Amino acid sequence: MRAFTYERAGDAREAAAAVAARPEAKFISGGTNLLDLMKLDIERPAHLVDVSRLPLDRIEDTPEGGLRIGAQVRNSDLAADPRVRSRYPVLSQAMLAGASGQIRNKASAGGNLLQRTRCYYFYDRNMPCNKREPGSGCAALEGFNRMHAILGASEACIAVHPSDMAVAMAALDGSVETISPDGETRTIPVGDLHRLPGTTPNVETELGHGEMITAVTLPPAPPGRQIYRKVRDRASYAFALVSVAAIVEASGGGIRSARIAMGGVAAKPWRAGEAERALAGATVSNRAYTDAAEAALAGAKAYGGNDFKIPLAKRTVRHTLAAAIERA
Ligand code: SF4
């Protein structure tokens, strides 16, 4: 591990300025991903700014009827909050599907959204990886790519984003609030926070250097039944092969509205807009679920080891929609 210096920030603006002042500085909160990466020499910050004790650890009701979740709220506290459990169950289910109890007790809401891919080659310094070392190539393209992307990938990188929370937040139309070193704040929809790889997979989000997430906000809960379904290699402590967050409003044999976001399929939570449009106004039927699944995966492309993910994702969309509608 590279030697680094450390400071504990006094407030959010000071933290942002401290990171912005040094090109090799990084924020640290729970450290559940960053410390692993530092031990492997993948992340090599020269300076860490600890934001874990900033007063950003509250969940508050907003005047509009939504929730404002401080960036330092722990994943377990977020999953257990009664307002989240009753009004945003898809988020609570997604949080509980991620990591282990110990990690959820440590990991922060902001850090969850910014965790990095678990692509095996990204973690192996002996292998080419454009995300870790731009221009070196992508070992996963011709390698072991069972976990990799089927939507939105490029020839430069086919990694997926590992966060379950981000998928639920995308379905709920959540946003992040940030602060920049000059004190400027802005709001970014979660669906726009992460970038697709294109030719620069090393640039993963829209955040500038020193820009810090201070909160995650949710609009009022949408009507309908919410479900998060995660398919993985073992029942706990595993990343998604495919996950689906579905929010469906149905009545009188018809589907009024639907939202679908997928995880484990792309470098960002993938909102399936075509599928949502196909479902709105459709009659409740297996045909409607199948048409939506086909629309959601219409642009999918696999790379050999992950060919199975396309039919798996279609089945998961179908079954999640059926569960949401039939339990509604
Ligand atoms: Fe690196 Fe992305 Fe290729 Fe994985 S998929 S080896 S993260 S460039």
- The model's pLDDT over 69-86, given as tens digits with 9 standing for 90+, comes to 999 999 999 999 999 999
Whole-Å CA distances, 184 to 16, 23, 193, 208, 212: 10, 19, 17, 12, 11
Region of 24 please: left (phi>0), alpha (psi -120 to 50) or beta.
Answer: alpha
Q: What is the mean pLDDT of residues 260-268?
A: 98
- The model's pLDDT over 50-76, given as tens digits with 9 standing for 90+, comes to 999 999 999 999 999 999 999 999 999
Q: What is the mean pLDDT of residues 275-292?
A: 97
Res 38: pLDDT: 98
Burial class (CB in 10 A: 0-12, 13-18, 19+), 89: middle
- The model's pLDDT over 235-257, given as tens digits with 9 standing for 90+, comes to 989 999 999 999 999 999 999 99
From 94, 128, 105, 107, select the one nearest 34 (Cα to Cα).
Answer: 107
176 token code pair: 């992040």
Sequential DSSP letters for 223-269: SSEEEEEEE-SSSSS---SEEEEEEEEEETTEEEEEEEEEESSSSS-
Give the list of residues 6+ apart from residue 63 with CB closer than 8 angstroms, or none. none
Q: What percent of the chain has pLDDT over 90?
A: 98
80 token code pair: 């257990």
Q: Is the CB of 117 under 6 A from ligand 1?
A: yes
Q: What is the mean pLDDT of residues 15-36?
A: 98
| β-bridge pairing 254-263 and 242-251 | antiparallel
Ligand 1 centroid distance, CA of 239 (Å):
16
Q: Is the CB of 266 under 6 A from ligand 1?
A: no
Ligand 1 centroid distance, CA of 11 (Å):
35
Sheet holding 25-28, edge to edge: 5-8, 47-50, 25-28
Sequence letter at residue 205: T
- Cβ atoms of 277 and 255 within 8 Å: the answer is no
pLDDT, the chain, mean: 97
- The model's pLDDT over 137-188, given as tens digits with 9 standing for 90+, comes to 999 999 999 999 999 999 999 999 999 999 999 999 999 999 999 999 999 9
SS3 114: helix
Ligand 1 centroid distance, CA of 42 (Å):
13
Q: What is the mean pLDDT of residues 90-103?
A: 96
Whole-Å CA distances, 17 to 37, 132, 178, 261: 24, 25, 13, 34
Burial class (CB in 10 A: 0-12, 13-18, 19+), 105: middle
Kindly report the pTM of this predicted structure.
Answer: 0.97
Res 326: pLDDT: 84
- Cβ atoms of 206 and 193 within 8 Å: the answer is yes
Q: From the alpha carbon of 148, which atom of ligand 1 is closest?
A: 5
- Cβ atoms of 93 and 78 within 8 Å: the answer is no
Res 328: pLDDT: 58
Q: From the alpha carbon of 132, which atom of ligand 1 is closest?
A: 1
Distance separating alpha carbons of residues 242 and 245, to the nearest angstrom = 10
Ligand 1 centroid distance, CA of 313 (Å):
21
| β-bridge pairing 175-179 and 212-218 | antiparallel
